[in-house]
Amino acid sequence: MRTVIPVVIVAGFLGSGKTTLLNYLLRNNRGTRIGVVVNDFGAVNIDAMLVAGQVDAMVSLGNGCVCCAVDVSELDDLFGRLAQPRSAVDVIVVEASGLAEPRNLIRMVIANPNPRIAYGGLVEVVDAELFDTTSAQHPELVTHLRLADLVLVNKADRVAPDALAALRARITEWVGQVPVYATTHGRVDPGLLFDERAREEPKVAQQLSFDALLDDHDHDDPDHRHLHDDYVSASFTSKRALDPRALVAFLEDPPPGLFRAKGCVAFAVAGERRKFELHVVGRHVVFTPGAWARGEERVSNLVLIGAGLDTEAALDRLHATVFDGDEPLDEQTMLGVWRYTPR
């Protein structure tokens, strides 16, 4: 099958910690090849300098905001270069300018004509210490948060626990079921944002890399919290076909904390024997119909990934989508699925 490369957009106001997050992902993923598009607002691309040498492939836009670019094809060309098979890139991360408009960035990625490119979600980074001040000066930041698939409240170590809890609660009121996670120094488990690739390393003696020396993980610090303390995954399997209406209802009203879902499903619809691949990032849902491989059992398998996700409740809801009737459903029940199927 053709490998599809997710494009993850990292946005947030100036100084919120986007570059810190990106550097952490580059140093702490387990074999994933990351391509980066760095967009710094200004003539000197300082952000590109900060990540230079830590990335498999990097292209920079130093002529202003990506979202304000007159020639949108420039971004398409950058994605095209990173998505070439010889680049061997597994995921593309766009670090947006602190002045960027996330809605336009999302549209650019979704509208990209390259079949190897797919939207991988919007991660909004918030400065826990300065959010009240910056949002008062720039009310549009709240609108940006409502577009996010994941909100990271960064610099959590700089505010009191009660103030941090109050800020997370306010943001949750704005974003609904979207995960809102507090972090320090941009420390995010890469597995929450994208599928990590385990690669075989040559079995020869290796010098400790500069990146490893820079790793600021303090494994002996009892107060250091890892994202995977709250980052969880759950697996769902059913040998009985699903009711498409019930599954779409689940996806349109997802359990709080769900960030990603992936897998394949079979539907209990008359005449419908195809295999439907499902990819979910935040509110973005895509069904792709295909064929079951020869000898492959017609079984639905899904993996749910989230932060603060109640996996038991989520799996209970998924099990409720299993069709238990005697007669197959009418083909009209597939209308909800077709809404999320690319034409």
Q: Is residue 92 part of a domain?
A: yes
Distances from the Cα of 119 to the Cαs of 41, 106, 110, 282, 286, in angstroms?
23, 8, 6, 10, 10
- Identify the CATH number of the domain in which residue 328 sits: 3.30.1220.10
Amino acid identity of residue 253, one-letter, is: D
Q: pLDDT tens-digit profile of 40-49?
A: 666 556 667 6
* Residues 167, 199 contacting (CB under 8 angstroms): no
- Identify the CATH number of the domain in which residue 16 sits: 3.40.50.300
| pLDDT at position 150 | 93
Torsion sign over Cα 126, 132, 138, 142: positive
Q: What residue numbers bound the domain in which 107 lies? A: 5-192
| pLDDT at position 238 | 96
Q: Are residues 183 and 236 in the same domain?
A: no
**What's the rounded mean pLDDT across residues 263-277?**
95
Query: Based on the structure, what is the number of domains in the chain?
Result: 2
Q: Are residues 31 and 140 in the same domain?
A: yes
| pLDDT at position 66 | 64
Q: Are residues 44 and 160 in the same domain?
A: yes
| pLDDT at position 1 | 44
Sort 309 into a burial class: Cβ within 10 Å, 0-12 / 13-18 / 19+. Answer: buried
Percent of the chain with pLDDT over 70: 82
Q: Which residues are 79's β-sheet partners?
A: none
| pLDDT at position 59 | 73
What's the whole-model pTM score? 0.80
* Residues 18, 48 contacting (CB under 8 angstroms): no
Tell me which of 192, 216, 241 is where a domain ends.
192
| pLDDT at position 211 | 36
Tell me which of 161, 176, 192 is where a domain ends.
192
